[in-house]
Amino acid sequence: MRVGLFIPCYVDQFYPQVGIATLELLEKYGCEVHFPLNQTCCGQPMANSGFEHLTGSCNSLFIDNFDGFDYIVCPSGSCTLHIKDHLHAENHQDEPKAQHIRKRVYELVEFLTDILQVKDLKAAFPHKVGLHQSCHGQRGLQLSQMSELNAPHFSKPEELLSQVSGLELVALSRKDECCGFGGTFCVTEEAISVRMGQDRVKDHQQQGVEYITGGDMSCLMHLEGILKRQKSSIKVVHIAEILNSK
- 131-159 pLDDT, tens digit per residue, is 999 999 999 999 999 988 999 999 999 99
Q: Does residue 183 have a pLDDT over 80?
A: no
Residue 46, pLDDT score: 82
Question: Distance between CA atoms of 76 and 73, rounded to whole angstroms?
Answer: 9
Identify residue 189 by its one-letter amino acid code.
E
User: What CATH number does the domain located at 128-243 have?
Assistant: 3.40.50
CB atoms within 10 A of CB 67: 16
The mean predicted confidence, pLDDT, of the chain is 94
What is the pTM assigned to this prediction? 0.94
Confidence bin at 199 (pLDDT 50/70/90): very high
Question: Distance between CA atoms of 149 and 90, rounded to whole angstroms?
Answer: 39
Residue 233, pLDDT score: 97
Question: Distance between CA atoms of 72 and 102, rounded to whole angstroms?
Answer: 9
Closest CA to 73 of 129, 24, 119: 24
In the chain, which residues fall in CATH 3.40.50? 128-243
Question: Distance between CA atoms of 194 and 167, rounded to whole angstroms?
Answer: 29
Question: Distance between CA atoms of 58 and 52, rounded to whole angstroms?
Answer: 10
The residues facing 4 across adjacent strands are 34, 72
CB 54 within 8 A of CB 44: no
Q: Does residue 190 have a pLDDT over 90?
A: no
Angle between helices 95-104 and 77-86 (to 10 degrees): 140
Among 24-33, 65-74, 106-115, 169-178, the range scoring the smallest mean pLDDT is 169-178
Spatial CB neighbours of 93, under 8 Å, sequence gap ≥ 6? none
Q: Does residue 88 have a pLDDT over 90?
A: yes
CB 175 within 8 A of CB 148: no
